[in-house]
Amino acid sequence: MTTITSAIAQSHADHRYWQNDLDTWADDVANWKSEQSDALKELKKIADEIYEHGESLDEHNEKIATLASALHAHEKALAECLKSGIEGDMDADLNAHHEKQAVDHAHQREAHERIKKHHHQAMAQVAILRAAMEAAM
């Protein structure tokens, strides 16, 4: 009879120990769910920022197209000057326009380099996050 009582007592002890594990695990999962929810909120913010970055790329591309169009128009105007046989300096308006284009082009070059650096850094961070998530799964 002692063996049965001892076995029952051991079973009860095991159950208390296991219940402690189950309670701890349930607490862990509740904490992890909270962290996972916070992580999703952060990822949503990051996704919104990446979306905004895409909009910035679109705006940058529009500026590039505008500069390309202005360059083409200016080149066409210069060709017309040559065709009409005008000697010497360019017309004052063409010269002023050319100077403005030089400034605009320099500003766009600086903007492009800033955007390029930001883009490469952002994409590198996304790649690091992706690799970390893949390694954890």
Residues of the chain with pLDDT under 50: none
Max Cα-Cα span within the chain: 122
pLDDT at 82: 81
Quick one: residue 85, left, alpha or beta (phi over 0 = left, psi -120 to 50 = alpha)? Answer: left
| Rounded Cα distance, 35 and 37, in Å | 5
Let me know: does 77 contact 94? Beta carbons within 8 Å: yes
pTM: 0.73
Query: Domain-by-domain residue ranges, the chain?
Result: 2-136
> How much is the pLDDT for 83?
82
CA distance 64 to 104: 10
Residue 91's pLDDT is 73
Burial of 16 (0-12, 13-18, 19+ CB in 10 A): exposed
Contact 90, 78 (CB under 8 A): yes
Q: What is the pLDDT of residue 3?
A: 73
